[in-house]
Amino acid sequence: MKRPTIKDIAAAAGVSKGAASLALNGRSGVSETTRARVLAVASSLGYRPSATARALSSASADAVGLVLVRPPRALGDEAFFFQLIAGMQSEMSCALLLQVVSSRAEEIALYERWFAEHRVDGVFLVDLLVSDPRVELMSSLGMPAVVVGGAGHHGALASVWADDYAAMTSVVSHLKSLGHRRIARVAGLPSLLHTVRRDAAFSSSVVDGVVVYGDYTAESGASATRELLGAAEPPTAIVYDNDVMAVAGAEVAGALGVAVPQRLSIVAWDDSVLCQHGRLTALSRDTFAFGARAARALLAVLGGAVPTDVEDVLPELVVRGSSGVAPGSA
């Protein structure tokens, strides 16, 4: 038993294909009695329009896209993206086309292809670079897109972000209020826009603050921490750019006999089960809600709304056991 097509519906209702199409899509051009008849027939036959055929005649593809550029193996540990995706899904009725690639070039080719093939109606852009070619690409393709997590305004694109600058400032002031002066930072990839933002906020509020760059993996967090703690004047507090690096750092400190938080305070960016269990002070943002917000923004753009920038609520610092008064203070 094959699925009924619009032709079957039309035949069963005694109208033409075109009339059936108009009736099913709630458009004018058919009488109300005809429309009712077509709809009745369609529901009784269990008619489902083919998204493929619909996409072909330049209508909606009923899907949005997300491309992640990562070594796939490292991805699995990053709860952030999965939370984000889960949040997106919660607000989307359409499907998400997801692909993981290993280079920026592939990513761009994929966006172009998806759009050319009418596979997606729009896309999310994550991991925004300092001067990101994708922004221009989206504009030139005329492809609806939402920038996720890239602070500020990006060409004609809608944007959803949290204020990394203010967040970093709040973290530093918390540490300063505890008496910390030698504060270091284990940052993420320096090519990413939010890293630069945080860097700027960090260096403007911490004098002589040391920054070491990692790549969000436990290994990089561990080695960065070893480097920092091995210095002549080791920091009394370290701010990490994600949870995985922070946890690894805490572990290294323990192995080196550096007591947390007595001799070293640790703050993680992005809260997670990992931080909760490790009792790590963390900058908590609701990534799930963030994803949901991004989805709403994209749906709005797809619905024809003029692209706007939405600023997410400021991440909140959740103080747990890993941060405390600086050694020598109070």
The distance of closest approach from Cβ of residue 227 to a second copy in the complex, given in angstroms and rounded to an integer, is 20
DSSP code, position 38: H
Residue with token string 């400021």: 314
Q: Which of a second copy, DNA, none does 25 bind, CB closer than 5 to 8 A by kind?
A: DNA
The smaller minimum CB distance to a second copy, of residues 106 and 311, is found at 106
| DSSP helix/strand/coil, 240 | strand
Q: How far is CA 215 from CA 75, 190, 240, 267, 274, in A?
A: 11, 9, 11, 17, 18
Q: Is 58 in the site for DNA (CB under 7 A)?
A: yes
Q: Is 297 in the site for DNA (CB under 7 A)?
A: no
The distance of closest approach from Cβ of residue 140 to DNA in the complex, given in angstroms and rounded to an integer, is 18
DSSP code, position 300: H
- In this structure, what is the dihedral angle of CA atoms 234, 236, 242, 243, given to the nearest 10 degrees? 110
Q: Which stretch binds DNA (CB under 7 A): 47-55, 68-76, 142-150, 307-315?
A: 47-55
Q: Which of DNA, a second copy, none does 273 bind, CB closer than 5 to 8 A by kind?
A: a second copy
Using alpha carbons, select from 243, 191, 266 the residue that is nearest to residue 77: 243
Q: Is 153 left (phi over 0), alpha (psi -120 to 50) or beta?
A: beta
Q: Is 43 in the site for DNA (CB under 7 A)?
A: no
In angstroms, rounded to a whole number, what is the distance separating the alpha carbons of residues 190 and 197?
10
The smaller minimum CB distance to a second copy, of residues 138 and 326, is found at 138
In angstroms, rounded to a whole number, what is the distance separating the alpha carbons of residues 190 and 57?
43
List, in sequence order, every residue forming a beta bridge with 237; answer none if it has no partner.
183, 265
Q: Is 17 in the site for DNA (CB under 7 A)?
A: yes
The smaller minimum CB distance to a second copy, of residues 182 and 285, is found at 285
Q: Name the site residues for a second copy (rule: CB under 8 A).
A: 3, 48-53, 55-56, 61, 63, 72-73, 75-79, 81-83, 85-87, 89-90, 95-100, 112-114, 116-119, 218, 244, 247, 251, 272-274, 277-278, 287-288
* Distance, CA of 314 to chain centre: 16
Distance from the first to the final alpha carbon of the chain: 79
Q: How many residues in the shown chain lie near DNA by CB under 7 A?
A: 31
Q: Is 14 in the site for DNA (CB under 7 A)?
A: yes
Q: Which of DNA, a second copy, none does 16 bind, CB closer than 5 to 8 A by kind?
A: DNA
- Contact positions vs DNA (CB under 7 A): 2, 5-7, 14-19, 21-22, 24-25, 27-31, 33-34, 47-50, 53-54, 56-59
